C-alpha cells in the first residue's frame, strides 16, 4: 500500500520536500546550539533574552541571541567593573537598548568609549534599557540604581510608547517605596519547551532586508486599513497622553535624584531630522504600522510637542539636557528606520551626550551612597549604606 502510494509523483515530491524541511530545521537548531549554546527544544529569538514577570519585563541574566547578550544582572552591557570611577546608566526603550547597530556599536557602548577617549579612563556605561519600556517604569530603574550606584542616569524617553496610555506609571510614592529586587539569576525559570519552527525565523532574517521598502510599506498599509476599520483613529496625540509622558519623565527624574544620582534628559531624535523637515511618507507609514490608531502627521506633531515639553522640563528643573531632537541630523545615514540608530547615528548620539555630561560639570569623584536596602553583588561594593 505504502509503496504504491509513494510511486505517485505528487506524494513522492511532498515527502522529499518534507524531508528537506526537517533536515534544514535540524541544521538550524544545531547551528544555534553550536554558535550560541541555544537550547534545542525551546524557541530561540530576540524574546529569549527577556523574562516577563508579574511586575513587567526584565532582561534574562546571562541570556544571548545573535548580537544581543545580557550580563549576569540582565542588562545589555558587560559585567559591572568594581574599579570604575565614573558610572552612567542609560535608561529608555529599544532606541537605547539597540536594535540595528552592529554588536558593540549601540550608543551606550560608544558613549563609554567616547568618555574614556576624553580622559575618563575608568568611565563605565551600563545599558539598563529594554525594548518597549516606558520612561515611567521607576521601580525597575530604582532597582538598577540600587544595584549599581551610578553618578548619572541618562533618560531617553520614547513618546510613541505613550500612544494609548491611560495613566502615568510613575507616582510620587515611588520615591519613598522600598526597592523591590527581582529574583536572583538562579531563580529565573528557562522558557518552557514548546513546538516551534526555528527555520521560519532564519528565512525571515534573510528575506526581510531584501524586500523593497515600497513593497514592505504596501503590506503595512493593508494592516493599517484593517486596524482603522476596527477602531477610532486619532489625528494627533491627545493632551492627556502627552501629559502622562511628561509627568512620567518628571517623576522618574525625581526618583533618580532621590537616590543620589543626577538625571540627564535627552530629547527624542528621529529620521526626520531637526525641525522634522525630512517628511518621508513611506517612513511615516512604516512607523504608523506599529501604532495604527495615530495618523501619519500625528507622529511629527507628537515629536515636536514632546521635544518642547522635555526642554521646558529641563529649564524648570534646571536639569542638563542633550537636545538630540534639534542637533542630530536625520536621514538614513544615521537612522536604520524612523527612530532606531545606525552605527553612525549612535556615534553622533554618544558624542552629543558626552559633550553634555562634561559641560554639566563632569561626573562626581565617587559614586553616591544609597538608602536602598539591597544585598551586595559579587565583586561590587556593599550598597547597604545610607545617604549622609
Instruction: Encode pLDDT of 26-76 as tens digits.
Output: 676 566 666 666 665 566 566 778 877 766 788 989 888 888 899 999 999
Bridge partners, 156 (sequence order): 92
Q: What is the pTM of this model?
A: 0.81
How long, in residues, is the chain? Answer: 388
Q: Round to whole Å and give the CA distance between 139 and 119.
A: 33
* Domain range list for the chain: 63-181+197-359
Which stretch of 62-71, 80-89, 189-198 has the lowest confidence by average pLDDT?
Answer: 189-198
Q: What is the mean pLDDT of residues 214-239?
A: 81
According to CATH, what is the number of the domain 63-181+197-359? Answer: 3.40.50.1110
From the CB of residue 230, how many other CB atoms can be counted at a distance below 10 Å?
A: 8
Tell me the mean pLDDT in the region 223-245.
87
Give the CA angle between residues 224, 227, 228 to the nearest 5°.
85
Look at residue 277 in the predicted model and tell me its pLDDT: 59
Angle separating helix axes 138-148 and 239-258, nearest 10 degrees: 20
**Cβ partners under 8 Å of residue 43, min gap 6:** 191, 194, 196, 198
**321-380 residue pLDDT tens:** 999 999 999 999 999 999 999 999 999 999 999 999 999 876 554 454 443 333 334 343
Which of 4-8, 253-257, 352-356 is predicted least confidently?
A: 4-8
How many percent of the chain have pLDDT more than 90? Answer: 53
User: How much is the CA Rg of the chain, to the nearest whole Å?
Assistant: 23
pLDDT tens by residue, 140-175: 999 999 999 999 999 999 999 999 999 999 987 766
Contact 227, 293 (CB under 8 A): yes
Amino acid at each position: 500500500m505504502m509503496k504504491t502510494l509513494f510511486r505517485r509523483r505528487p506524494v513522492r515530491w511532498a515527502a522529499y520536500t518534507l524531508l528537506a524541511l526537517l533536515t534544514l530545521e535540524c541544521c538550524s537548531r544545531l547551528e544555534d546550539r553550536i554558535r550560541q549554546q541555544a537550547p534545542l527544544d525551546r524557541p530561540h529569538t530576540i524574546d529569549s533574552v527577556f523574562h516577563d514577570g508579574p511586575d513587567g519585563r526584565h532582561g534574562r541574566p546571562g541570556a544571548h541571541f545573535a548580537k544581543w547578550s545580557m550580563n549576569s544582572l540582565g542588562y545589555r552591557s558587560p559585567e559591572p567593573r568594581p574599579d570604575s570611577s565614573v558610572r552612567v546608566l542609560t535608561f529608555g526603550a529599544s532606541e537605547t537598548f539597540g536594535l540595528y547597530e552592529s554588536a558593540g556599536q549601540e550608543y551606550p557602548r560608544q558613549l563609554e568609549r567616547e568618555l574614556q577617549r576624553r580622559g575618563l579612563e575608568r568611565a563605565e556605561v551600563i545599558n539598563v534599557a529594554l525594548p518597549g519600556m516606558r520612561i515611567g517604569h521607576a521601580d525597575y530603574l530604582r532597582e538598577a540604581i540600587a544595584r549599581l550606584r551610578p553618578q548619572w542616569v541618562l533618560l531617553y524617553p520614547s513618546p510613541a510608547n505613550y500612544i494609548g496610555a491611560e495613566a502615568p506609571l510613575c507616582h510620587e510614592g515611588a520615591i519613598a517605596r522600598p526597592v523591590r529586587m527581582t529574583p536572583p539569576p538562579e531563580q529565573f525559570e528557562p522558557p518552557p519547551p514548546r513546538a516551534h519552527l526555528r527555520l521560519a525565523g532564519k528565512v525571515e532574517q534573510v528575506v526581510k532586508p531584501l524586500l523593497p521598502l515600497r513593497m514592505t510599506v504596501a503590506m503595512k498599509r493593508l494592516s493599517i486599513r484593517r486596524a482603522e476599520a476596527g477602531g477610532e483613529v486619532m489625528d494627533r496625540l491627545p493632551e492627556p497622553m502627552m501629559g502622562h509622558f511628561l509627568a512620567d519623565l518628571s517623576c522618574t527624574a525625581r526618583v533618580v535624584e532621590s537616590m543620589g544620582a543626577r538625571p540627564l534628559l535627552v530629547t527624542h531624535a528621529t529620521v526626520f531630522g531637526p525641525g522634522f523637515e525630512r517628511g518621508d511618507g513611506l517612513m511615516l507609514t512604516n512607523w504608523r504600522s506599529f501604532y495604527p490608531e495615530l495618523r501619519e502627521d500625528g507622529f511629527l506633531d507628537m515629536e515636536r510637542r514632546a521635544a518642547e515639553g522635555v526642554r521646558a522640563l529641563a529649564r524648570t528643573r534646571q536639569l542638563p539636557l542633550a537636545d538630540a531632537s534639534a542637533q542630530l541630523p536625520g536621514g538614513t545615514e544615521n537612522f536604520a528606520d524612523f527612530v532606531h540608530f545606525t552605527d553612525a547615528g549612535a556615534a553622533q548620539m554618544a558624542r552629543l551626550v558626552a559633550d553634555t555630561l562634561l559641560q554639566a560639570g563632569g561626573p562626581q569623584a565617587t559614586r553616591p551612597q544609597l538608602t536602598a536596602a539591597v544585598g551586595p553583588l559579587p565583586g561590587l561594593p556593599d550598597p547597604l549604606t545610607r545617604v549622609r
